[in-house]
Structure 1
Amino acid sequence: MSGGAEVRAWRPGVPGVVEVLHAHFPTHAYPSHTHDAWTVLIVDEGAVRYDLDRHEHGLAQAQVSLLPPHVPHDGRSVLPGGFRKRVLYLEPDRLGVQLIGAAVDQPEYVDPLLRHRIHQLHRVLRDGREDLEAQSRLLFIEERLQQHLTREVTAAVQRRDAGVAGQLRELLDARVADGISLEEAARIVHAHPVHLVRAFSREFGMPPHRYLTGRRVDLARRYLLDGRPAAEVATLAGFYDQSHLNRHFKKVLGVTPKSFVAPRPARP
C-alpha cells in the first residue's frame, strides 16, 4: 500500500451493512468526498480531524463519529504517526434520511457503551461466522445512534422554539397597552399561532395572554403611583374598563387599585 497504508475492506452478509473497513493510514489524508451510506467510525490509534459540511470536527479514541450520507467531508491525521480506524457503512434507510441534519449538527458522541458495542460488532464481523449475532448487535447500535440523533433534533427544535418565544415576548413588551393578536404575531415571527403559544408557554412557564396581563398590571401600578385615577389607568394600561383592571389587579396583587394607593396611616 502507498505510504505504508494497510486496508482491509469487505461486504459482510448482514442486512443493512454496505461495507466494513479496517485501515491504518500513516500519512494518507482524504480529500473532500461523499458517501451514499451512513459512516460509523471509531479510531483505535491516533486522532482524526475532518471537515463536515465546511465545519471542522475532531475524533479521538473515546468517541464515535457518525457521518451522514451525501454530505461532503474529508479526513486527516492530527498526529504525525497517522491513525488506525474501523468503519461501518450502513444503508441510508437504516437510520433514516430525515436525521441527516441532526448528524451534520453533531457528528461525534462520547458514549462508552455505544463505542463498546461497535467494537463488539467489528469482532463478530471479522470472524464472519455469526450472522445472527451480528444482526442483533447492529440493531442495538442503530437504536443507540437514533437516540443520539433524536436528542439532537429535539434540542434543535427547542432552540428554535426559544427564539420564536423570545420574539413574541419582544412584541408583547413593545405593545403592552395596545396588545397584538396571535395571527399578527404569527405572521411577524413566521410561526403557526398554536406553535407560537406552545413555544412561549414552554419557554416562559405561562401562556402569552397571562404574560401580557402581568405586564399590564405592572404598567397600571406605575400610573396609579403617579396619582392617575383608576378609570384613566385602565385605559392607559390596556384594560377594557375599570372593572377589568380591578379583576386582574386583585388577582395578581391581592388588593384592588384603590387599596393599592390608599393613604397609609401615619406612624406615631
Structure 2
Amino acid sequence: MAATRPRSTVSAWQPSVPGIAEVFHARFTDHAYPAHVHDTWALMILDGGRVDFALDRERHGIGVSDAVILLPPGVVHDGRTVTEAGFRKRVLYLDASVLPERLAGAAVDTPLLFDRPLLERVQGLHLALGPRHSPPTEGFEAQSWLAFVRERLWIRLAGREPARGGGPGAGLAVRLRELLDARVVEGITLAEAAAELGHVHPTHLIRSFRRAYGLPPHAYLTGRRVARARRLLLAGMGPAAAATAAGFYDQAHLTRHFGRYVGTSPARYSRSGRP
C-alpha cells in the first residue's frame, strides 16, 4: 500500500527580533482555515501553489506571484487550498510596534500588495531570520530588514514614510561606525544604536552608513568580527572559542560567514599557518 502524503508541514518559532511575534512556515495540500482573527499583522508570501482567502467577507485568490499578502489585526479572515498541489507559505506576525492598528482599514482595502521592493525586503528578512533550530544570523541584519519592510508598508498603507528623525548623514555614519567598533563582540541592536545616536530613524541610520561606506552596518559589523576571528585563529585559538570571542553565536555561525569572507573554513585557515 502506497504511503500517503502528509496534508501539512508546519514550522513555527519566536525569533529574538523586537516587533516579530512569530515566524510561521507551512505547506498545505488540503486545508481550510475557519473564520478567525489575529491580534497581530500577518505578512505572508507564497513560495508555491495557490490560496483563496476571505478578508472582511470579501474573497481574494492569489497564486505565486509578486504579491505580498497583508492581513490586519482584528479583522475576520479565512483561507483554503485551491488545487490538489496546495500551497507553501511563509508568514511573519508583526506587532503594533511595526504597524499601528489604525492602518488596518487601508489593509482591508488592499490586502494584496503587488510591490517588488516590498517583496524583496520581506524575502531578505526571512533569509536573515534563518530556518528554525539553526544558529541565528546577525540580529542587526534582521532588524535592518524589518525596518525597511516597515518603511515600505507605511508607504503603501499611509501614502508616506513613518515619521523620522535625522541628522547630517556623513557625521551620523561616522558616529555609528565608532559605536560598532566599540561593540564588535557584544554587539548592539538597531534600536539601541538609533537611540544612542539621537533617536534617529533606523532606515535613515542604515542609509547614511551605506552612503558613507558602501555597505550596510550589519555587513560592516560581520566583517569586523571575521577579522577578529582570523587574528584569534592564527594566534592558536580553536574555532569554537574564537567564534564566541569574536562575537559569533557559535562555531557554525562563524563558519557560515567565514567561508563567505575568507573562502575557507576556520579550521583550515587555522591549520594553514602551522609548520
Query: TM-score interval w.r.t. the shorter chain?
Result: 0.5 to 0.7
Provide closer, same or farther for how the CA distance between residues 13 and 2 of structure 1 changes in structure 2, counting only shifts above 3 A: farther
State how far apart, in whole Å, the 2-side matches of 1:6 and 1:68 are.
24
Task: Give the 3-state SS of the residue equivalent to 1:44 in structure 2.
Answer: strand
Aligned match of 1:114:
118
Aligned match of 1:80:
84
Residue type of the alignment partner of 2:22: E
State how far apart, in whole Å, the 2-side matches of 1:92 and 1:52 are.
19
Cα distance, 1:150 vs. partner?
A: 1.2
Aligned match of 2:57:
54
State how far apart, in whole Å, the 1-side matches of 2:5 and 2:127 are.
26
Residue type of the alignment partner of 2:147: L
Task: Give the 3-state SS of the residue equivalent to 1:46 in structure 2.
Answer: strand
Task: Give the 3-state SS of the residue equivalent to 2:159 in structure 1.
Answer: helix
- CA offsets 1:20-74 (integer angstroms, 9 cap, x no match): 0010001111111111000000011001110001011123222101100011100
TM (norm. structure 1) is 0.54
Task: Decide whether the 8 Å contact of 1:3 with 1:28 is kept in 2.
Answer: no
Task: Give the 3-state SS of the residue equivalent to 1:92 in structure 2.
Answer: coil
Task: Decide whether the 8 Å contact of 1:3 with 1:27 is kept in 2.
Answer: no
Residue type of the alignment partner of 1:34: V
Cα distance, 1:3 vs. partner?
A: 4.1
Query: 14, 19, 26: which one pairs with 1:16?
Result: 19
Aligned match of 1:6:
9
Confirm whether residue 134 of structure 1 aligns to residue 137 of structure 2: no
State how far apart, in whole Å, the 2-side matches of 1:59 and 1:134 are.
27
State how far apart, in whole Å, the 2-side matches of 1:33 and 1:24 are.
20
Query: 32, 36, 52: which one pairs with 1:33?
Result: 36
State how far apart, in whole Å, the 2-side matches of 1:2 and 1:138 are.
35
Task: Decide whether the 8 Å contact of 2:118 with 2:149 is kept in 1.
Answer: yes
5+ residue gaps, structure 2, are 161-275
- CA offsets 1:152-182 (integer angstroms, 9 cap, x no match): 9xxxxxxxxxxxxxxxxxxxxxxxxxxxxxx
TM (norm. structure 2) is 0.53
Residue type of the alignment partner of 1:9: A
Largest Rg, 1 or 2 = 1
Moved more, 96-105 or 122-131: 122-131
The answer to which structure has the higher helix fraction is 1
Residue type of the alignment partner of 2:140: L
- CA offsets 1:176-211 (integer angstroms, 9 cap, x no match): xxxxxxxxxxxxxxxxxxxxxxxxxxxxxxxxxxxx
Matches within 5 A, 1:136-155: 136-151=144-159
Cα distance, 1:129 vs. partner?
A: 2.3
- CA offsets 1:70-98 (integer angstroms, 9 cap, x no match): 11100012222100000000002311111
Task: Decide whether the 8 Å contact of 2:42 with 2:70 is kept in 1.
Answer: yes
Query: 57, 71, 93: which one pairs with 2:97?
Result: 93
Task: Decide whether the 8 Å contact of 1:37 with 1:68 is kept in 2.
Answer: yes
Aligned length: 152
- What fraction of aligned residue pairs are identical, expressed as a percent? 49
Task: Decide whether the 8 Å contact of 1:69 with 1:92 is kept in 2.
Answer: no
Task: Give the 3-state SS of the residue equivalent to 1:93 in structure 2.
Answer: coil
Moved more, 15-24 or 114-123: 114-123
Task: Decide whether the 8 Å contact of 2:48 with 2:64 is kept in 1.
Answer: yes
Task: Decide whether the 8 Å contact of 1:59 with 1:65 is kept in 2.
Answer: no
